[in-house]
Amino acid sequence: MLHIINQSPLNSSTLDTCLNTASGGDILLIEDAVYAATKGNAAEAKLRAANGKFKVHVLMPDLEARGLGDRMMDGISAVDYGGFVELVANSKNCQSWL
C-alpha cells in the first residue's frame, strides 16, 4: 500500500497516525509533509525507527520549493512527478492521510 501524507509534522499528527496505524508499505511525503524528510526535524527519529516497516519517499520538487533539497535525510528515496505516478501505478491501494 502507498500512504500519501501532505501535512507538516509540525502542525499535524497525520504522520504519527500513519506510522502507528498502518502495517507497512510505502510512504510518500508531499507538500508540507516534506519537512519530515529533513535532517534535524522533530520527525526524524520516528522515520528512522519505521525504516524496516516502511519505505519512505519524498517528492523532490516540493522539498526543493521549500529550499530544503540539501537537507534530505539519508535512507529516504527522492522522486519526481514521474516517480510519484509510478508509485501510484505500482501500488495495489493508495491511502491519503488527512
C-alpha cell at 64: 526543493
Residues facing residue 26 across a β-bridge: 2, 55
State the 10-residue block means of pLDDT for the chain, 98 residues long. Answer: 96 95 95 95 91 94 96 95 97 95
- CATH superfamily ID and name for 2-97: DsrEFH-like (3.40.1260.10)
In this structure, how many other beta carbons lie within 10 angstroms of the beta carbon of residue 81? 11
pTM: 0.95
Segments making up each domain of the chain, as ranges: 2-97
Q: How far apart are CA 2 and CA 13, in angstroms?
A: 18
